[in-house]
Amino acid sequence: MKKNFSTAVYPGSFDPITLGHIDIIQRISKLFDEVIILVAHAPDKASLFTVEERIKMIQQSLKKIKNIRVDSHQGLTVEYAKKCGAKVLVRGLRAVVDFEYEASMGNINKTIDPEIETILVFASPEYYFISSRMVKDVAKNGGPLEGLVPPEVIGPLKRKWGKK
């Protein structure tokens, strides 16, 4: 089956990557020839992990998926997509509260470049409640991280908060 769009960009902060992110990546990797996980440089956000640390955790967590690539970018995601020839941006939706933000973002991107489509992918029910922010709070307070993040992320998260 020929795919109309061969490359998709899945942007985010991934601070850290969660099982919800992994679920969406696994699902979209079946739809596109290549999926680029784009780690955002967001100087206005206080990140727990450096961009390099996030890239390493993502690569380790997704080593079994062959058609993904991890990259980073500072600036407009649409400009990155244009530069690498991608025509699709993928955004994940957890709950209804995400919809308004993601719809606005998709419309802004469409205004900047009408050739690039934004596709919203719903989180699977077992992951819809997981956010990186909540995961960091659980880790900070010494809570269990299994079922929230990939095994490759548990150690780095615990070390950041000085937990064992």
pLDDT for 98: 84
What are the sequence ranges of the domains in the chain? 7-129
Q: Which are the catalytic amino acids?
A: 21, 45, 94, 132
What torsion, rounded to 10 degrees, do the Cα atoms 105, 111, 115, 121 define? 20
> Mind listing the pLDDT tens digit of every residue in the chain (164 residues)?
455 679 999 999 999 999 999 999 999 999 999 999 999 987 777 899 999 999 999 999 999 999 999 999 999 999 999 999 999 999 999 877 788 889 999 999 999 999 999 999 999 999 999 999 999 999 999 999 999 999 999 999 999 988 76
Classify 7-129 by CATH class: alpha beta
Note whether 160 and 49 are within 8 A (CB).
Answer: yes
